[in-house]
Amino acid sequence: MERNFKLLIAYDGGHFHGWQHQPNLDTVQGTLEQSARRVLRHQVDLIGSGRTDAGVHAAGQVANVFTTSTMQATSVRHAMGSRLPKTISLREVVEVSRAFNARRSALSKLYRYRIHSRSARPVVRLQQQCCYHFWHPLDVERMRAGAAHFIGEMDFSAMASAGCVRETMVRTVLRCDIVRHYDEVVIDVEGRGFLYNQVRNMVGTLIEVGRGRWEPERVGDILASRQRSEGGPTAPARGLCLQWVRYPAELLTPERAEGDDEE
């Protein structure tokens, strides 16, 4: 019987050309599939929860793969993990319902953006590859006021990169929290789905508010315009990390086989 494995993955995006397959380039999806083929001994099609761009990191990316292998999930994790580069960690492999789809079944996901807000570079803490160095002071309270305009279901065309065309540009942002921890400003964005570069463009817009160039109310005007040219610059990829993806609990356990009765 075909089984469905859910993979929980972390990776350093700075070493890859994004998640999705690209000819003759190192991608996270391609690297994982190569390892899975060697372990499961058949062709695989890895389904990811989303396509992170080149340079974007993940602490909790989720994927699933169907297999006819009889290997236990823990054995698959160990065998695949031993064949992966040090820039990818296969945190967990579990068998789930065959109805589970890492992309379509997702209820929400959270992206975290880290900004090192100080004149000195973050090299002192060896964090230069996982945060954006912005040397101007940032007013977190102003940024929070601007972020409030992002909450809800609305057209996010102004926060999508130019050329992004989808059936609908409407997306739902559940929260946009901003905190400061010493020299670091952290922006957490949870949503049901995102447009191409949406979070990085949201961050770039909030930075313009935080540095005092724009008033917080302008964020609402930018969204209403539906014009990408009205928003702030796209924040660099290295500061962004996919933290986790949430799914319905009933899909996270495998179906019981016929005749496998409870005692």
Per-residue pLDDT of the chain (263 residues; tens, 9 = 90+): 899 999 999 999 988 999 998 888 999 999 999 999 999 999 999 999 999 999 999 999 999 999 999 999 999 999 999 999 999 999 999 999 999 999 999 999 999 999 988 756 555 554 667 889 998 899 999 999 999 999 999 999 999 987 776 789 999 999 999 999 888 999 999 999 999 999 999 999 999 999 999 999 999 999 999 999 999 999 999 999 999 999 999 999 998 765 554 44
Query: In this structure, are 130 and 237 located in the same domain?
Result: yes
Q: Give domain status of residue 249, yes or no.
A: no
Task: Round to whole Å and give the CA distance between 141 and 209.
Answer: 10
Beta-sheet strands, E only, within the chain: 3-11, 47-48, 57-67, 88-96, 108-116, 132-133, 152-155, 170-181, 184-191, 240-246
Regarding whether 182 and 78 lie in a shared domain, the answer is no
Task: Please give the span between the terminal C-alpha atoms of the chain, in angstroms, as a whole number.
Answer: 23
CATH number of the domain at 234, please.
3.30.70.660
Same domain, residue pair 124 and 202: yes
Residues 143 and 131 in one domain: yes
Whether 186 is covered by a domain: the verdict is: yes
φ, ψ (nearest 5 deg) of residue 39: -85, -45
* 119 and 223 inside one domain: yes
Q: Domain boundary at 73, 105, 137, which?
A: 105
pLDDT score at 128: 60
Residues 25 and 47 in one domain: yes
Q: 105, 121, 142: which is the final residue of a domain?
A: 105
Q: What CA–CA distance (Å, rounded) separates 247 from 262?
A: 26
Residues annotated as catalytic are 53
Whichever domain contains 57, its CATH number is: 3.30.70.580
Task: Indicate whether 230 and 116 sit together in one domain.
Answer: yes
Same domain flag for 86 and 126? no
Backbone phi, psi, residue 219, to 5° = -60, -45
177 and 203 assigned to the same domain: yes
Per the structure, the complete domain to which residue 50 belongs is given by: 3-105
Q: Which of 64, 85, 105 is the last residue of a domain?
A: 105
Token code pair at residue 116: 């090192």
DSSP state of 262: -
Tell me the three state secondary structure of residue 13.
helix
Q: What is the pTM of this model?
A: 0.92
Pairing state of beta strands 47-48 and 88-96? unpaired
Do the domain assignments include residue 257? no
User: Does 59 lie in the same domain as 47?
Assistant: yes
| CA nearest neighbour of 189 among 132, 218, 249, 149 | 149
Based on the domain organization, do 211 and 131 belong to the same domain?
Answer: yes
CB-CB neighbours of 188 under 10 Å? 15
Q: Do 17 and 87 belong to one domain?
A: yes
Distance CA 183, CA 119 (A): 10
254 domain residue, yes or no: no
Nearest to 159 by CA among 173, 174, 145: 173
Beta strands 240-246 and 57-67 are parallel
Residue 261 lies in a domain: no
- Of 217, 227, 208, the C-alpha closest to 157 is 227
CA distances from 50 to 19, 112, 127, 191, 261 (A): 8, 15, 25, 12, 37
Please count the structural domains in the chain.
2
